[in-house]
Amino acid sequence: ELLKAEAVRREMFNQIQELRGNVRVFCRVRPPSPRETSEASASICLETLPDAATVHLRLGPEKSSSYAFNRVFSQESTQEDVFGEVSGLVQSALDGYNVCLFSYGQTGSGKTHTMLGGSDATSRGIIPRAVEKVVEASKINEVKGWSYTLKASYVEIYNETIRDLLSTVGHSDTTHKIIHENGSTTISGVTTAIVESVEQANVLVRKAAGARKVEATQMNAHSSRSHAVFILHVSGEHASSGTRMEGVLNLVDLAGSERVSRSGASGERLKEACSINKSLSSLGDVFAALASKAKHVPYRNSKLTYLLAPCLGGDGKTLMFVNVSPEEDSSEETSCSLRFAEKVNACELGRSSQRKMTTHK
């Protein structure tokens, strides 16, 4: 009975997703940090509406804007709430879909918290929960005659170079190439770990997270200057019919979207910041091309978009989180992030933006 209900629910989810188009955008507002709460001057410029779909940004005494997304998570929402809304999408990798989940936003807005989270059961984020869900769901399907192989890779894209976060030999000079062949995507020379249990997956994820390149900037001591992509290949085979299924789940913690000037970048840092901006704008260009149904989609303009091409186009499924900070200090960056996300959101059904600009006196 449970298995049946699960299958029906998944099928319904897939149908809904089909109707909605392949790109969705969720907004998540993080709570103010203790510093922001204690500072007398700290003031909150974001408000989430009870419809759980609108966020209201105040940009000055006379200017504010509303942004509508498929879902808006207020600062009260838990990791469990968030995962509850993406669990269906995650499981569609078992049905053979190419799935991609991004977190986009300025440094300190909660991207890593959303994707990776803390190490305890309540604070862990989407990556550990997703692996757990896929492992569980694959075990359920085994009863129906399916057998699955789950393979994980974890890479970082830094200055247009791919680094293997699961490599046991440390940072080597190996050049990793993205290869699209026979309908599947691989990265040459990158470690793939077979995942058989949740515990094993957790160890993997934590180790890789530690290997991630972090560099201090004026904005945030743990600012991540790179994209981290967790890749889970799901291949299934049905014993009696011989049917094969290949799905991929990509969970992407994007580099900070802040502009160069604000983080005081110079020299080597400037080069990093420019390249980050380049690949994020390449992502925007790909969404724009898809939305306008352009003949040419510029996937090849960055490593990130080239790697994720099968998810972004065709019958792939994409969900982007736009992570935002509620405090006034960040309102300019928040505005940039929300506008970028709104453009991505407009890709679904190819309809135009829903944003309403209001000026009141």
Binding site for ligand ADP (CB under 6 A): 30-31, 33, 105, 107-113, 220, 323
Nearer to ligand ADP by Cβ, of 98 and 106: the residue is 106
- Here the tokens at position 22 are 């392949």
- Annotated binding residue 192: no
By beta-carbon proximity to ligand ADP, the closer residue of 28 and 233 is: 28
User: Which contacts qualify for 305-310: CB closer than 8 Å, 24 or more apart?
Assistant: 305/279, 306/178, 307/157, 307/178, 307/185, 307/187, 307/229, 307/250, 308/100, 308/250, 308/252, 309/180, 309/185, 310/98, 310/180, 310/185, 310/248
Q: Which does 176 bind (CB under 5 to 8 A by kind): Mg ion, ligand ADP, none?
A: none
Q: Is residue 109 marked as binding? A: yes
CB of 77 to ligand ADP, least distance (A): 7
Residue 49: name the closest of 33, 32, 71, 34 by CA: 71
Cα dihedral sign, 140-141-146-150: negative
147 strand-pairing partners: 237
The site string for Mg ion over 95-134 (x = CB under 5 A, - otherwise) reads: ----------------xx----------------------
Q: What does the alpha-carbon distance between residue 212 and residue 156 come to, in Å, rounded to a whole number?
A: 7
224 makes contact with Mg ion (CB under 5 A): yes
Between 176 and 212, CB nearer to ligand ADP: 212
- The kind and range of the H/E element at 331 are helix 331-345
Q: Which amino acid is at 7?
A: A
105 is in an annotated binding site: yes
**Shortest Å, Cβ 175 to Mg ion:** 26
Annotated binding-site residue? 88: no
Q: How far apart are CA 325 and CA 110, in angstroms?
A: 8
147: annotated binding-site residue?
no
The verdict on whether residue 110 carries a ligand-binding annotation is: yes
User: Which CB sits closer to ligand ADP, 140 or 336?
Assistant: 336
Binding-site positions read 105-112
Binding-site positions for ATP read 105-112
Q: Which residues contact Mg ion by CB under 5 A?
A: 111-112, 224
